[in-house]
Structure 1
Amino acid sequence: MSTTLTVEGMTCEHCEQSVEEALESVDGVEVISVDRDAERATVEGDADPDALVAAVEDAGYEASA
């Protein structure tokens, strides 16, 4: 299953890395692709979309599924 999140507030490579690390902490995540220019993160796996959004928001970014 693939989940795409809109992520606002990423301005640099470090931001992308922070979002990726936050998403990696969620159970069920298998593959992550983060694109700051598109303001998007795509996650492969069976992770709960609400948990993905919460993880990104805990890292300091605005997110929605």
Structure 2
Amino acid sequence: MAWANTYQVGCGARLCNGNYVVVCRYNPRGNILGQNIYETGSTCSSCSNTCTTAYLYKGLCPAPN
């Protein structure tokens, strides 16, 4: 599961015995006890530069370089 500080995701899918198996890897990893799955605050308040305004992904910070 992607968490607030996750900025890279890689996934793969494979058909196996008539079912799809999907595996994803996140960086940095999530699901860590004591860490938040999301950050609260006004939209784009944590972005260091620009904030996306595209309709589908509105209000997301760009990934760090």
TM norm structure 2: 0.22
Higher relative contact order (CA 8 A, sep 6+): 1
Structure with larger Rg? 2
TM norm structure 1: 0.22
Q: Which has the higher strand share?
A: 1
Q: Which has the higher helix share?
A: 1
